[in-house]
Structure 1
Amino acid sequence: MTYDVAAVRSQYPALTSGEAFFDGPAGAQVPRPVVDAVAATLGSPVSNRGPHTAPQRAAEEIVHACREALGDLLAADPRGIVFGRSMTALTYDLSRALARTWEPGDEVVVSRLDHDGNVRPWVQAAEARGVTVRWIDFDPDTAELTPTDLQPVLSDRTRLVAVTAASNVLGTMPDVAALAELSHSVGALVYVDGVHFSAHEAVDVAALGADLFACSPYKFGGPHCGVVAADPALLETLRPDKLVASTDVVPERFELGTLPYELMAGTTAAVDFLASLDPAGTGSRRERVVGAWDAIGTHEDVLRGRIEEHLLERSDITLWSRAKRRTSTLYFSIEGLAPGDVHAELGRRGISVSSGHCYAWEPCHRLGLGPSGAVRVGLAPYTDEQDVHRLLRALPRGD
Structure 2
Amino acid sequence: MAGTTEQYDVSRVREHFPALRTGRAHFDAPGGTQTPEPVARAVYDALTAPLSNRGRHTQAARNADDIVVGARAAMGDLLGVDPGTVVFGRSATALTFIVARTLARGWQPGDEIILSRLDHDANVGPWLVAARRAGVEVKWADFDAGTGEFDPASVIGQLTDSTRLVALTAASNLLGTQPNLAEVAAATRRVSAVLYVDGVHHTAHNFVDVPALGADLYVCSPYKFLGPHCGVLTGRADLLRDLAPDKLRPSSDEVPERFELGTLPYELLAGVTAAVDFLADLTPGDGTRRERLQDSFAALEQHEDALRRRLEDGLAALPGVTVHSRAARRTPTLFMTFENRSAAEISAHLEADGIDAPAGTFYAYETARHLGVSGGVRVGLAPYSTQEEIDRLIVSLGNCLNRVG
User: Normalised by the size of structure 2, how large is the TM-score?
Assistant: 0.96
Q: Do the aligned partners of 2:102 and 2:243 also contact (CA within 8 Å) in 1?
A: yes
Question: Are 1:295 and 2:299 counterparts?
Answer: yes
Q: Distance in 2 between matches of 1:169 and 1:339?
A: 14
Question: Are 1:319 and 2:319 counterparts?
Answer: no
In the alignment, which of 116, 119, 122 is matched to residue 114 of structure 1? 119
Match runs of 1:1-399 below 5 Å? 2-279=7-284, 281-370=285-374, 373-395=375-397, 396-397=400-401
Q: Deviations 1:128-147 (Å, cap 9, x if unpaired)?
A: 00111111111101111122
Q: Distance in 2 between matches of 1:175 and 1:128?
A: 31
Q: 1:103 aligns to what SS in structure 2?
A: coil
Query: Aligned-pair distance for 1:188?
Result: 0.5
Q: 1:298 aligns to what SS in structure 2?
A: helix
User: Normalised by the size of structure 1, how large is the TM-score?
Assistant: 0.98
Q: Do the aligned partners of 1:26 and 1:354 also contact (CA within 8 Å) in 2?
A: no
Q: Do the aligned partners of 1:85 and 1:225 also contact (CA within 8 Å) in 2?
A: yes
Q: Distance in 2 between matches of 1:278 and 1:180?
A: 32
Query: Aligned-pair distance for 1:23?
Result: 0.3
Q: Distance in 2 between matches of 1:337 and 1:154?
A: 42
Counting aligned pairs with the same residue, the percent is 53
Query: Aligned-pair distance for 1:111?
Result: 0.1
Query: Aligned-pair distance for 1:231?
Result: 2.1
Q: Do the aligned partners of 2:7 and 2:283 also contact (CA within 8 Å) in 1?
A: no
Deviating 4+ runs (over 6 angstroms):
none
- Aligned-residue Cα RMSD (Å) equals 1.0
Q: Do the aligned partners of 1:23 and 1:352 also contact (CA within 8 Å) in 2?
A: yes
Query: Aligned-pair distance for 1:276?
Result: 0.6
Q: Distance in 1 between matches of 2:283 and 2:8?
A: 8
Q: What amino acid is aligned across from residue 239 of structure 1 in structure 2?
A: A
Q: Deviations 1:172-198 (Å, cap 9, x if unpaired)?
A: 001111111111111111000000000
Query: Aligned-pair distance for 1:56?
Result: 0.5
Q: 2:301 aligns to what SS in structure 1?
A: helix
Unaligned runs of 5+ in 1: none
Q: Distance in 2 between matches of 1:286 and 1:26?
A: 26
Q: 2:157 aligns to what SS in structure 1?
A: helix
Query: Aligned-pair distance for 1:313?
Result: 2.5
Could you say which residue in structure 1 is the equivalent of 2:3? none
Q: Report the count of equivalent residues.
A: 396
Query: Aligned-pair distance for 1:337?
Result: 1.2
Query: Aligned-pair distance for 1:230?
Result: 1.2
Q: 1:363 aligns to what SS in structure 2?
A: helix
Q: What amino acid is aligned across from residue 318 of structure 1 in structure 2?
A: T
